[in-house]
Amino acid sequence: MHPILRNERLSPNVTRLVLEAPRIAEIRQPGPFVIVHLGRGAERIPLTIADGDAEAGTISLVIQAIGKSTTDLVEVPVGGAIADVAGPLGRPTELPESGRVVCVGGGVGTAVILPIAQELHRRGVAVTSIIGGRSREWVIMEAELGACGEVVPCTDDGSDGLPGFVTPALAHVLAGGVGGQGLQGGNINLDIEMSGVGEHTAVLHHLEVRDVDHVLVARSRDDKVGLRGGDT
């Protein structure tokens, strides 16, 4: 059993659960996920390991409640428990050791970039995180990502940060409008790394451009998580 130590609403449909999982907390790397089984009769679902604390023996899962399994999970109160948490599964994300990286995520996809931004920051890589949501209350993890470097929030309605989706904000950052040194074109080298399996696989696109060494975009194959704000 994995007791829930914290249950915190991050946005109207996204919740962070902090739970005991000492072995996973100790060996986790950025990118992988766990398979969570709430209990008898429940489905087993994959969730990215959003954060962890090896000393405390805990991991964080950031969950968008969209169907039965995810809704049941976010309703587990502090003091409740999840029966099984299997993992870490999937390949760790390959990350550079130096340079400047722009991480892009929207809605619950923001949680996917947090462990990546944390590891990049630990390595001394300069990180800019572009995070999106429909409006201010849908933008999550600004403080956590702020501890890793520069954060550029954007909202569809302009209530926080840059107005619009994360995509024009990325173009803006690459053009040197936020941080950066006035990028002017450069070779773009697209290479896609898969992190997990299935319809909702998180995909990281690595674009190499001048002045910015990598761009990591967290999204699902069908765009339901990530760039569109995770608001399905």
Ligand X SMILES: Cc1cc2nc3c(=O)[nH]c(=O)nc-3n(C[C@H](O)[C@H](O)[C@H](O)COP(=O)(O)OP(=O)(O)OC[C@H]3O[C@@H](n4cnc5c(N)ncnc54)[C@H](O)[C@@H]3O)c2cc1C
Does residue 66 interact with ligand X by CB under 6 A? yes
Does residue 33 interact with ligand X by CB under 6 A? yes
User: Minimum CB separation from ligand X for residue 102, in Å?
Assistant: 21
Does residue 202 interact with ligand X by CB under 6 A? yes
Of 64, 118, 129, 155, which one interacts with ligand X (CB under 6 A)?
A: 64
Residue 70 φ/ψ, nearest 5 degrees: -70, -35
Of 29, 135, 167, 201, which one interacts with ligand X (CB under 6 A)?
A: 201
Three-class HEC string of the chain: CEEEEEEEEEECCEEEEEEECHHHHHHCCCCCEEEEECCCCCCEEEEEEEEEECCCCEEEEEEECCCHHHHHHHCCCCCCEECEEEEEECCCCCCCCCCEEEEEEECCHHHHHHHHHHHHHHCCCEEEEEEEECCHHHCCCHHHHHCCCEEEEEECCCCCEEECCHHHHHHHHHCCCCCCCCCCCCCCEEEEEEECCCCCCEEEEEEECCCCCEEEEEEECCCCCCCCCCCC
Does residue 138 interact with ligand X by CB under 6 A? no
Of 8, 26, 43, 191, which one interacts with ligand X (CB under 6 A)?
A: 43
- When the beta carbons of 60 and 155 are compared against ligand X, the nearer one is 60
User: Minimum CB separation from ligand X for residue 70, in Å?
Assistant: 3
Does residue 25 interact with ligand X by CB under 6 A? no
- When the beta carbons of 155 and 195 are compared against ligand X, the nearer one is 195
Does residue 85 interact with ligand X by CB under 6 A? no
Of 37, 121, 123, 200, which one interacts with ligand X (CB under 6 A)?
A: 200
Of 6, 9, 23, 68, which one interacts with ligand X (CB under 6 A)?
A: 68
Which residues form the interface with ligand X (CB under 6 A)?
33, 43, 45-48, 62-64, 66-70, 108, 111, 196, 198, 200-202
